[in-house]
Amino acid sequence: MKGKQIAIIVAVLVIVGYLYSLPVKGLIKPKEGHANNGMVAGSKPAPAANISADMVSATAKTAIGANLSAKITDLESQLKQAAGEKQKEELQRQLAKQWDDVNQPAPAAFYYLELARKQHDFNDWLNAGTRFNDAYRLSQDSSLQSAFVMNAVEALQNANKLQPDNLDAKAGLGVAYVNGGAPSPMQGISLLLEVVAKDPNNRSANLNLGMFSMKSGQYEKAVVRFKTLIAQKPEVEPYFYLAESYKQLGQKQQAIDAYQKCKELMPDPTFGKRIDDFIKELKN
């Protein structure tokens, strides 16, 4: 199975576990008629621990195995021995790309952040912030999440300053704010709604608004978001969340149909067995 397929499976299972196993971070249903898209978010993470690229790299290497880690370890050794700033930056960029290639956003994010702080380039800020957001949703460690969200805010605020009209940067900042990077998470929801007002099909905004709707119990709204994504491009992740939303709404056949699409899009035996289990539950 390809690395990207592995990453999708891990992302789906970890995120679903995050949505349903962890305490909901203040996302609640509003009073009837309250015009806030059905979401109010809550607590801000604790102050970020001193998390470094080396710390998250060790965990990521365990996830990808020794063979895929070998080149990365070699580049890390070269970085430690690099003589000049130019050589360090070249190696940091190589490391960021290598981590991207094996779908490990946390270490990639730290390298992009270091590059962005030195060069103040929009793409580096955007890459750093986007990957910190991805790392946040793949982690269940509160100390790591705190570091990820604070770094995401720094990166995406800088990206927005450089390109205020860029919707990817705006959507990313909205996600970071809802995750706890702003005094009021509604600042983040407002940014995401601003993005979909300008681009109704924006993937990041719709995906995250759908997920936030799920966490607040607003499954009807989640269904609309995920169907918008699927209409553009059928993918495992939105289909999985669509199935989960239908399941919570008691619409069993629609949930089964969406789970079946997940199996078609991800022809992996392990993943398929999990999907079969979900379907079996619904049929019983």
114: its two tokens: 């270091």
Q: Of all residues in the chain, what percent carry a pLDDT higher than 90?
A: 65
Count of beta carbons in the 10 Å neighbourhood of residue 179: 27
Per DSSP, helices labelled H in the chain are 3-21, 53-64, 66-81, 85-101, 105-119, 122-138, 142-162, 167-176, 186-198, 203-215, 219-232, 236-248, 252-265, 269-283
**C-alpha to C-alpha distance for 208 and 219, rounded to whole angstroms:** 13
pTM: 0.83
Segment among 12-21, 178-187, 235-244 with least mean pLDDT:
12-21
Residue 4 has pLDDT above 70, yes or no: no
Domains of the chain are 1-24+216-284 (1.25.40), 52-202 (1.25.40.10)
What's the rounded mean pLDDT across residues 169-177?
A: 97
Residue 103 is classified by DSSP as: T
Mean pLDDT of the chain: 85
**C-alpha to C-alpha distance for 43 and 183, rounded to whole angstroms:** 9
| Terminal-residue alpha carbon distance, the chain | 32
Residues 62-84: pLDDT tens digits? 988 999 999 999 999 999 999 99
Helix axes 3-21 and 269-283, enclosed angle (nearest 10): 30
**Is the separation of the CB atoms in 92 and 111 below 8 Å?**
yes
Give the model's pLDDT for residue 137. 86
* Residue scoring higher pLDDT (21 or 110): 110
Give the model's pLDDT for residue 281. 92
**C-alpha to C-alpha distance for 249 and 222, rounded to whole angstroms:** 11
85: its two tokens: 């700033």
Closest CA to 207 of 186, 192, 218, 220: 192
Could you identify the residue written with the tokens 């969200």? 149
* Residue scoring higher pLDDT (72 or 267): 72
Q: Could you tell me the CA-to-CA distances from 185 to 45, 52, 181, 203, 234 in Å, in that order?
A: 12, 26, 7, 20, 30
**C-alpha to C-alpha distance for 150 and 111, rounded to whole angstroms:** 15
Q: Could you tell me the CA-to-CA distances from 277 to 143, 257, 261, 263 in Å, in that order?
A: 33, 14, 15, 12
**C-alpha to C-alpha distance for 43 and 23, rounded to whole angstroms:** 11
Residues 197-229: pLDDT tens digits? 999 999 999 999 998 899 889 999 999 999 999
Task: Name 223's Cβ contacts closer than 8 Å, sequence gap at least 6.
Answer: 242, 245, 246, 249
102: its two tokens: 């094996």
Work out the burial of residue 130: count CB atoms within 10 Å of its CB; fewer than 13 is exposed, 13-18 middle, 19 or more buried: buried
